[in-house]
A and B are shown apart, each in its own frame.
Chain A
Amino acid sequence: MMMNCKDVSTLIARGELTQAPLMRRLAMRMHLVFCRHCRAFQRQLDAIARAARAATARLANEPGAEFEATLTRRMREDPPQAK
């Protein structure tokens, strides 16, 4: 089974590397061994994910320290609604 760059990069971007049938996964692995452009594309998407996680980590100082206590109080005090 031959796969071209478009097939491989589409599978990579969809996050379907592990779900593809075995033969397809093998063909993709083989393609990646020889194609530096697809390897770079894969590294690039990994880098974007790392950057997004780093951006989210910057939220570490929010919300404030009272967040959990306030949330717990709201859950205790909010009267159960009629179903």
Chain B
Amino acid sequence: MADLDESLLALLRARDPDALRTIADEHGRRIYRAARGMGHSAADAEDLVQDVFLAFLLSLDRFEGRAQVGTWLFGILHRKSLERRRAVVREELSDPIDQLFESQFDTRGHWHLAADAPEHLIHAEQAGGAIAGCLEALPDQQREVFHLRQVEDLPAEAVSKITGLSVTHIGVLLHRARVRLRVCLGEKGWGRR
């Protein structure tokens, strides 16, 4: 993700066609993919991307030179996505998936041998379309954090800036998302021989 230099910022403020095209080319599809990854339909995702880039132009005066354009755009996408859902999603302090995870260990914190042996499920290539349904079933915040951390490969600190959540909270959400996906894929018989 490239930083914006002052000359490009000035061109963007003047809505220079080439500068606008550069930003659209470099970041448009990535932001679109993230919107889809957050669960928006193709049509909604296209609308959302346009909203994001228009908001980006209006926010150029507040753009911090040290910030990366991608992180800035993901932050706008996060807020626009929440607005579109007309609700601030609140993550419950406790999540049933936490108990399910805990139940996989004995009192000494070792895996139950009777539990589904993890190595039965390691073949990603077999996941095919199964994971799409599991991703759709994730709570919104978990899905967004999973996408940003695991698909976009952003560090927890960047996701914290984007979402306004603490790094610790990002870890909890990622943990819940991954355990939930593992359970969901297991229920679909993913990787069973």
A interface residues with partner B (beta carbon < 8 Å)? 4-7, 10, 13-16, 19, 36-38, 40-41, 43-56, 59, 62-63, 67-68, 70-72, 74-76, 78, 80-81, 83
Contact = CB atoms under 8 A, between A and B. Distances in A.
A44 B117 contact: no
B161 to A, nearest CB: 16
Contact of A47 (B15, B36, B124, B149): B124
A15 B156 contact: yes
Interface string B101-114: 11001001111000
Contacts of B182: 44-45, 48
Contact of B42 (A4, A41, A49, A63): A63
Contacts of B17: 72, 76
Contact of A68 (B24, B45, B54, B119): B24
B96 to A, nearest CB: 16
B150 A52 contact: yes
Contacts of B125: 51
